[in-house]
A and B are shown apart, each in its own frame.
Chain A
Amino acid sequence: MALIELIDISKSFDGELVLDEFNLKIEENEFITLLGPSGCGKTTTLRILGGFETPDTGRVMFQGEDITHLEPNKRQINTVFQKYALFPHMNIADNIAFGLKISGKSKEYIKDKVKYALKLVNLSGYEKRSVDSLSGGQQQRIAIARAIVNEPRVLLLDEPLGALDLKLRQEMQYELIRLKNELGITFLYVTHDQEEALTMSDKVVVMNQGYIQQMGTPEEIYNEPENAFVADFIGDSNIIDGVMMEDRVVKICDHIFPCIDEGFGRKTPVDVVIRPEDVIIGRPGEGILDGVVTSNVFIGVHYEMCIEAGGFEWLAQNTVSYPVGAHVSIGVTPENIQIMNKPQSEDEEAMALDE
């Protein structure tokens, strides 16, 4: 049995539908991430789980028990809020001890637990400090410590790293993974940052407009996006109109590319996803079609180039730099071509997967 089950959840605010018949199962001890642009319903999902919003329809099940209308203070779930929401009138120790004091734990127990929690988030000795005196990253870690001392079954994290700078964010990502492994509790993480989602999660749920677009491991989501939205949202990608000529053959920009996808029928219009790092750049004539480099930017490990070829501007990444204006060829190995069905309508574009 899944630890948490959201069944047919719908929720609208001021007549605007945020979640539509939303279904999700969360297994024990999973690190699951809801990923999507703002307004996709991910935070609402989290707030419904935390008990801060009541769904218009549908049920929230926790270990098989209906908790849809249970108050937040009665749930075995704790939340790490986006802006930390530490109690400004208490010192760090009192902040962390808040939940324990409420549940009437002994002074000794609380003291040990606070110490343990601070050690867990690498802030030992910060007991007497004030909230104001801590940096954003430190406050974030205290917010996590404050939630986990209560030994919740599930920890909800609402874009907890959103306000931190890049380096701190990356450090905190590893820290969260470590925490999750040490504590063995279920993490439900909400973010719009695809890199965060891919780095930390066991399972990623890509959402848009209140629907689940795709659910899977980070590898599945990245390598086999099921539709153009997912492909576009997860990392950079070339999404090109193509025609599936027959099994394992797709026509892009009037050129035939061999691929490995089957079962799309013959002469079916499809969306083709090719990741920029999978575009092989060679000398003219070497690849499948020829083109001209129109821009070239060095972005760290590699160069990001735009190549005008076959009437499409291809985004390509390569460790070798090709100057603007250079004539090149483009090729892609068959397994790096991802074929997706074209959505029939706007509605279907946002529609959930048929599970």
Chain B
Amino acid sequence: MSRRIFSGPFLLFILCGTLIPLGVIAYYGITDRSGSFTLDNILAIASPEHSEALFLALLLALISTVICLLIAFPLGLILKDSRLGKKGFMVFIFILPMWMNFLLRTMAWQVLLERNGIINQLLDLVGLPHLDIINTPAAVVLGMVYDYLPFMVLPIYNALIKIDRHVIEAAYDLGASSPQVLLKVIAPLSLPGIVSGITMVFVPSLTTFAVSNMLGGGKVNLIGNIIEQEFTVSSNWNLGAGLSLVMMIFIVISMALIEKFDKNGEGNVL
């Protein structure tokens, strides 16, 4: 009985940190300024401006997640097999940027990518054409990949190093070639890590407004930016909350899809 006392603080946290704020958002989402019930804030997603922003956010989040995965998985394989004895160090190098403030890192890219930024100055030096991606979706994707890559690398690397070396040897022993081992043994066994990596990159990419603000220069409007503006510039909390609810639904759907995929992968175990 006395053990229940220990769960008290956590229950309080769940109540104050999750349930109450969610309730407030939900309340604002389904009421108008005068406090009466309405679904307008939620249905507002159907307007071209909002649905385009949501679609663009989904698209950019998807692209950056895929790029992160394409970088992180091979990297994990290399780190796992490297016999340099510097495994820990290499991973450390990759997550080092995480120690710096997220906004600062994004701002650094802003400076780098500027029309007369360092990258273009260097390109000038060697006589190559300018890289004009600042204030475009490409720059936003670049920022997302740079900011969230460590969240993909870590879980995948952790899943990969947990695979029993003998299981991989057994696959070779049974006649499998390297691509077959990768496809039939290593990939399915690292799936839990891949799924958490995807989750940890996709969700913040989908909801971000800071990256698109700084690297999109107001020209790349994601659903996150619109929600932020409703809360700050327009002071229309009701519309912001309604759109937030819609986005939350999209995240839940995405997660459910990924979870289902994960279950299929591990389904054989059950």
Contact = CB atoms under 8 A, between A and B. Distances in A.
B175 A81 contact: no
Contacts of B173: 50-52, 72-73, 77-79, 147
B269 A79 contact: no
Given A132-B269, A150-B174, A81 B166 contact: yes
B171 to A, nearest CB: 7
Contact of B167 (A77, A79, A88, A102): A88
| Majority SS at the chain A contact face | mixed
Contacts, number: 78
The contact size tier of chain A is 20 to 34
Interface size class of B (residues with CB under 8 A): 20 to 34
A78 B191 CA distance: 27
Interface in A120-151: 130-132, 146-147, 150
Interface string B77-119: 0000000000000000000000000000000000000000000
A146 B177 CA distance: 17
Contacts of B176: 73, 98, 102
B166 A83 contact: yes
Given A94-B268, A130-B268, A130-B269, A87 B167 contact: yes
A89 B265 contact: yes
Interface in A77-134: 77-79, 81-83, 85-91, 94, 98-99, 102-103, 130-132
Best-surrounded residue of B184, B265, B270 (most CB of chain A within 10 A): B184
Contacts of A98: 171, 174, 176, 184
A52 B177 contact: no
Interface in A41-79: 50-52, 71-74, 77-79
Given A85-B167, A85-B170, A130 B175 contact: no
A278 B87 CA distance: 57
A319 to B, nearest CB: 45
Given A73-B177, A82-B166, A102-B176, A87 B171 contact: yes
A199 B175 CA distance: 31
Most buried by A among B170, B176, B191, B265: B170
A89 B96 CA distance: 33
B170 A91 contact: no
Contacts of A77: 173
A71 B172 contact: yes
Nearest to A83: B166
Given A87-B167, A88-B189, A89-B188, A131 B269 contact: yes
29 contacts: A52-B169, A52-B172, A72-B169, A73-B172, A78-B173, A78-B174, A81-B166, A81-B169, A82-B166, A85-B167, A85-B169, A86-B167, A87-B167, A87-B170, A88-B167, A88-B269, A89-B185, A89-B191, A89-B269, A90-B268, A94-B268, A98-B171, A98-B184, A99-B175, A102-B174, A102-B176, A103-B175, A130-B268, A147-B174
